């Protein structure tokens, strides 16, 4: 079986369950693939072959515990700024290297669940960069074209997954390092909300923004890893219909192929039930620029500046990294406070732009560069790659990078979904839908998507509400629903048991719907849903004589919806014959 072995997390677990594979066979296949990959610059250090075989043998002896160990026999890689007990942590700087006495908490959790650390992967030194070329250990080979960058800073971790050397990997993400390499390697990159995964045992880059990240071939695999690495928060699902944000203006740095692919991705989201909402990208862009052109550079100086200043010539400090990190010395305490004030204002503006959206759908990057391009412009082109990524941790949001397609020259393109804090599982559940709707190779492997039964499923607690007037989509009061997380579920008509009236007063004009024993009509309605905890806030906005009661729908079901007290119709106009509020509004314009 190992000649065609699928290293996907669920594929391996299914094979172990079926008894067609043991862990020793899997490890032999991993070692074979690593050997065949040659000098791909993925690894800075690796567990010895003997050590890996010993771990495999121990797990085979525990086969009876398979169901107790959710990552039993799953090989993974660890970015080399994350500690693994007994292995050297370098952060891609030989002079900084130390032997870790204990593993980072996130690694401990994964290993305790049966996962196997294969090795430590290459990165942009001290996790400073989005390019994947700033390392004295070489440049991990982009599996789609070695002339192009692999993306950073988690370059080796992404390439290891895309090349089929491991099932998943850990990266870190401060400014986009868990997303940019995913986009350039045609894999999934999960960037959790800062603080969801422990940073204990992670070499800091920008401590207030750092977070560990996960690379995998599928959203189902990433979800399996997330469930072990932490306790994911309960989160509302993204429904069959949803609203997503597209930034304006868009920037592709002259890459027409990426621009065309993004336009296609937006159309695919619309086909999946999405409604496009164009939002002002300015506050997001301005926050992104603070990271490398503002006082947050000084936080990088605080992390490793003293080491770099005192490092010997042979310590292997990368020149561009030195330039960036020591550049933080020019900022003052006043600059830091002013930066915080500016960021707070930008965060408020950004929150207003995201109001009522399920997620933002951004290009993961606006373009990709050749290795030779970075030799000419190491700083400018790196900043271009952060255009759609740098703001996310500033605003405490969650993100998921997803593959979409390929340029005519065969290089991958991806999009990233950005949502509120702790929405990881809803993004992964939607990402699984996306991967089934956009059939692509998984990385540069022959692996296949796991069976649908393995896809993440998010249950949510929402209340359906039927609206018949100004709260319908596109009408004046619809914002009262969308700003509370309202979602359009269906459109149709009520059962033919209602009289419909235009109530006096306004603006805005309001309808009143009253159930009658006979002589009623069917009224146009939309059924929206709200998160249960937001219903009270919505009800508080409803003025008398309107209220919520059970509305009978044409399909025979009943749902909470708008009804009117009968006394209020005495001075109202009966508009039942028009069949709905939109028809009434249209009649006024005639």
Read off the pLDDT of residues 166-214 as tens digits, 9 standing for 90 and up: 999 999 999 999 999 999 999 999 999 999 999 999 999 999 999 999 9
CB atoms within 10 A of CB 267: 12
Topology of domain 462-588 in CATH is Hypothetical upf0131 protein ytfp (3.10.490)
Among 176, 156, 137, 187, which Cα is nearest to 77's? 156
Residue 1: the pLDDT is: 41
Query: Residue 103 catalytic?
Result: no
What pLDDT, in 10s, does the model give residues 386-416?
A: 999 999 999 999 999 999 999 999 999 999 9
Q: Cα angle at 519 between 513 and 525, to 5 degrees?
A: 35
CA gap 172, 122 in Å, rounded: 12
- On whether the 2-454 domain is CATH 3.90.330.10, my answer is no
- For residue 248, give the 3-state DSSP assignment: strand
Pairing state between β 524-531 and 398-406: unpaired
Residue 3: the pLDDT is: 55
Q: Tell me the two tokens of residue 479.
A: 């914002």
Query: Residue 541 catalytic?
Result: no
Q: Are 129 and 181 in contact (CB under 8 A)?
A: no
Q: Are 175 and 389 in contact (CB under 8 A)?
A: yes
DSSP state of 438: S
Low-confidence ranges of the chain (pLDDT < 70): 1-3, 460, 590
Pinpoint the residues of the chain covered by CATH 3.90.1300.10.
2-454
Contacts of residue 332, defined as CB under 8 A and 6 or more positions apart, other chains included, come to: none
How much helix, strand and coil, in percent to the nearest 5, is found in the chain?
35, 20, 40
Pinpoint the residues of the chain covered by CATH 3.10.490.10.
462-588
Find the catalytic residue in 135, 153, 157, 167: 153
Ordered strands of the 511-515 beta sheet: 511-515, 498-502, 573-574
Find the catalytic residue in 79, 120, 191, 444: 79
Find the catalytic residue in 103, 155, 177, 447: 177
Query: Residue 79 catalytic?
Result: yes
How many Cα atoms are found within 13 Å in the side-chain-facing hemisphere of 238? 30
Q: Distance of alpha carbon 282 from its chain centroid, rounded?
A: 21
């Amino acid at each position: 079986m190992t000649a065609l072995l699928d290293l996907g997390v669920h594929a391996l677990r299914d094979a172990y369950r079926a008894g067609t594979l043991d862990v020793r066979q899997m490890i032999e296949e991993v070692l074979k693939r690593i050997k065949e990959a040659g000098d791909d610059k993925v690894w800075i250090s690796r567990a010895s072959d003997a050590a890996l075989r010993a771990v495999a043998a121990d797990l085979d002896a525990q086969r009876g515990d398979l169901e107790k160990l959710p990552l039993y026999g799953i090989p993974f890689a660890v970015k080399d700024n994350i500690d693994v007990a007994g292995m050297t942590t370098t952060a891609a700087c030989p002079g900084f290297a130390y032997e870790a006495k204990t593993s980072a908490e996130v690694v401990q959790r994964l290993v305790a669940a049966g996962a196997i650390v294969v090795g430590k992967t290459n990165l942009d030194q001290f996790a400073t960069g989005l390019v994947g070329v700033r390392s004295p250990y070489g440049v991990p080979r982009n599996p789609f074209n070695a002339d192009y960058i692999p993306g950073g800073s988690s370059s080796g971790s992404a390439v290891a997954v895309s090349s089929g050397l491991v099932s998943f990997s850990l990266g870190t993400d401060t400014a986009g390092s868990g997303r940019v390499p995913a986009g350039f390697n045609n894999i999934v990159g999960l960037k959790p909300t800062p603080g969801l995964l422990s940073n204990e045992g992670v070499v800091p880059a920008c401590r207030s923004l750092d977070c560990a990240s996960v690379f995998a071939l599928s959203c189902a695999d990433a979800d399996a890893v997330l469930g072990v690495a932490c306790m994911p928060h309960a989160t509302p699902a993204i429904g069959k219909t949803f609203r997503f944000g597209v930034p304006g203006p868009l920037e592709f740095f002259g890459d027409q192929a990426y621009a065309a692919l993004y336009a296609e991705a937006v159309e695919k989201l619309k086909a999946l039930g999405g409604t496009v909402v164009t939002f002002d990208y300015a506050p997001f862009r301005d926050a992104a620029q603070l990271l490398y052109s503002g006082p947050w550079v000084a936080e990088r100086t605080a992390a490793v500046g003293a080491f770099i200043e005192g490092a010997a010539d042979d310590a292997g400090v990368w020149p561009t990294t030195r330039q960036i990190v020591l550049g933080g010395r020019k900022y003052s305490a006043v600059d830091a406070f002013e930066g915080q004030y500016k960021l707070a204002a930008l965060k408020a503006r950004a929150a207003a732009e995201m109001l009522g959206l399920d997620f933002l759908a951004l290009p993961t990057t606006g373009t990709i560069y050749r290795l030779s391009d970075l030799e000419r412009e190491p700083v400018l082109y790196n900043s271009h790659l952060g255009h759609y990524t740098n703001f996310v941790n500033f605003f405490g949001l969650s993100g998921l990078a997803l593959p979409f397609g390929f340029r005519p020259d065969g290089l991958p393109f991806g999009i990233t979904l950005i949502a509120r804090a702790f929405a990881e599982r809803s993004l992964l559940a939607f990402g699984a839908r996306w991967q089934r709707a956009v059939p692509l190779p998984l990385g540069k492997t022959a692996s296949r998507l796991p069976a649908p039964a393995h896809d993440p499923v998010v249950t949510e607690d929402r209340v359906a509400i039927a609206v018949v007037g100004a709260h319908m989509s596109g009408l004046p009061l619809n914002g009262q629903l969308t700003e509370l997380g309202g979602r359009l579920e269906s459109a149709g008509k009520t059962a033919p048991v209602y009289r419909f009236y235009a109530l006096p007063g306004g603006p805005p004009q309001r309808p009143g719907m009253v159930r009658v024993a006979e002589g009623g009509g069917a009224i146009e309605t939309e059924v929206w849903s709200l998160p249960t905890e937001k219903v009270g806030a919505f009800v508080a906005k409803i003025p008398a004589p309107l209220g919520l009661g059970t509305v009978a729908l044409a399909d025979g079901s009943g749902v909470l919806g708008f009804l009117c007290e009968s006394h209020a119709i005495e001075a109202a106009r009966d508009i039942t014959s028009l069949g709905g509020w939109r028809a009434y509004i249209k009649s006024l314009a005639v």
